[in-house]
Structure 1
Amino acid sequence: MARLPENTLLYHITHITNLQSIIEQGALMSHARIRLNTLSYKDVANQDVQSRRNRTRIPVGTGGNLHDYVPFYFAPRSPMLYVLYMQQIPQDDLVYLMTNTEVVQRQCPNFVFTDAHAIRRLTNFFTDLEDLNRIDWGTMRATVWTDTDEDPNRKARRQAEFLVHNDVPLSACIGFAVYSVETKQKVEAMLKEAGLSLPVAGRRQFYF
């Protein structure tokens, strides 16, 4: 395992049509909170996976199931994003909301994280940031994370998750990353209208 990075960046992907609701609510909400508040939300995730997430219990910390948490990845260009790319969902419509572990620890203390895809039976769950050294940082930094005969679980480890209970306030967001200049301008306009000054950066390398 590679050396633990400081102030570990965390990445959440959402469809751009959800951004207005996120701004209005002042927070990124868990799947359960979105349902409870009957908010309009465009879900781009695989529905079979979502069904399994709703049944997957969290064995540590606050407990509950995966839908009680806002999920983040430890790296961009995730396997989930690749699936969306292969489904021809426009990359321009997908926006990253970013935070880091230091900010989350300060503002959202009810969190857990995993060392691989959270719905896998053998995945481990943690609540102490000291255990971030259990993440496969080499695979997180890799451009290619596909499984091999020698290592059939690379993709699962790339999908390790950082999970925040209930919601993440926009005050914990350190910025947005987008595919193109056009999307950057759209997001900036939405933030400006709401009186927010969060940075928006074009990060083509975060996409496929």
Structure 2
Amino acid sequence: MNLKIYHIVHVDKLPSIMSTGSLLSDAKLYKVMEMGTNIGMEKIKQRRLQITFSSYRDMHVGDCVPFYFCPRSVMLYILSQKNHPEIDYKGGQEPIIHLVANFKRVIDWAGKNSKRWVFTDSNAGSHHFNDYNDTKYLSMIDWKAVHAKYWIDCREKKQAEFLIEDKLP
């Protein structure tokens, strides 16, 4: 399986990521003084700190580093528009970089390092998603929506996520 997962960050966060040696979850980031531009919606980040998974009732979405299964995410489009009222950042997508990881390698790393992981069939920042912690359920993801070029009718499903507990080097 050569499935890729994608995390987007502002390029000015790279020094911070390099100094910690990992991408950190929002729950961890709120405890350290991370440098760099926040490109997310703070309201949704706060909500993710409250939402739990059905797979792990003691783990919140915000306890995990989020990845999308699609390289051209809804969030990247929103950033390109430079005008979302709930995002302070208005600099467009040019300084946004994709960090790409191999799905299987990340799962293998998680197993060796006692880190839990899940994937969702839609946006984990909403209250309406299903989560799974077994790759045999990957077919529950709407892959047509994930790869859709035009996604007005499948926006939430396009935002299916992979989430790993705490951090990812």
Report TM bin, short chain.
0.7 to 0.9
Q: Please, what TM-score do these two structures have when normalized by structure 1? A: 0.71
Aligned to 2:160: 160
Q: Which residue of 1 aligns with 2:103?
A: 101
The one-letter amino acid paired with 2:61 is L
2:132 is the alignment partner of 1:120? no
2:31 is matched with 36
Unaligned runs of 5+ in 1: 1-5, 148-153, 170-208
> Any idea what the Cα deviations from partners look like across 1:10-32, whole Å, max 9, x if unmatched?
00000101011111211111111
Structure 2 counterpart of 1:26: 21
* Superposition deviation, residue 90 in structure 1: 2.7
Separation of aligned partners in 1, 2:31 and 2:151: 36
CA RMSD of aligned residues (A): 1.5
- The answer to whether the Cα contact below 8 Å between 1:34 and 1:41 also exists between their aligned partners in 2 is no
Counterpart of 1:12 (choices 7, 11, 36) is 7
Match of 2:64 in 1: 69
- SS for the counterpart of 1:70 is strand
1:62 shift after superposition: 7.1
Question: What is the DSSP-based 3-state SS (H/G/I as helix, E as strand, rest coil) of the residue aligned with 1:144?
Answer: coil
For the 8 Å contact 2:81–2:92, the answer to whether it is kept is no
Q: Which structure has the greater CA radius of gyration?
A: 1
- Paired AA for residue 115 in structure 1: D
In the alignment, is residue 84 of structure 1 matched against residue 79 of structure 2? Answer: yes
Deviation at 1:117, TM superposition (A): 0.8
- Do the aligned residues in 1 keep the contact of 2:147 with 2:158 (CA within 8 Å)? no
Alignment of 1:181-200 (within 5 A): none
Q: Deviations over 1:127-177 (max 9, x none)?
A: 001111111111222211112xxxxxx1000011100100001xxxxxxxx
Q: CA deviation at 1:108?
A: 1.6
The structure that is helix-richer by fraction is 1
Return the letter of the residue paired with 2:159.
Q
Could you tell me how far apart the structure 2 residues matched to 1:91 and 1:140 are? 20
- Superposed, 1:171-186 pairs within 5 Å as none
Structure 1 pair 84–40 and aligned structure 2 pair: CA distance change class (3 A): same
3-state SS, counterpart of residue 119 of structure 2: strand
- Equivalent of residue 50 in structure 1, options 34, 45, 48: 45
Give TM-score scaled by structure 2 length. 0.87
The structural deviation recorded for 1:42 is 2.1
Shift of 1:44: 0.8
Cross-structure match for 2:142: 136
Shifted more, 47-56 versus 16-25: the winner is: 47-56
Q: Distance in 1 between matches of 2:140 and 2:107?
A: 18
- Amino acid aligned to 1:60: S
The structural deviation recorded for 1:38 is: 2.5
How far is the alpha carbon of 1:39 from its aligned partner?
2.2
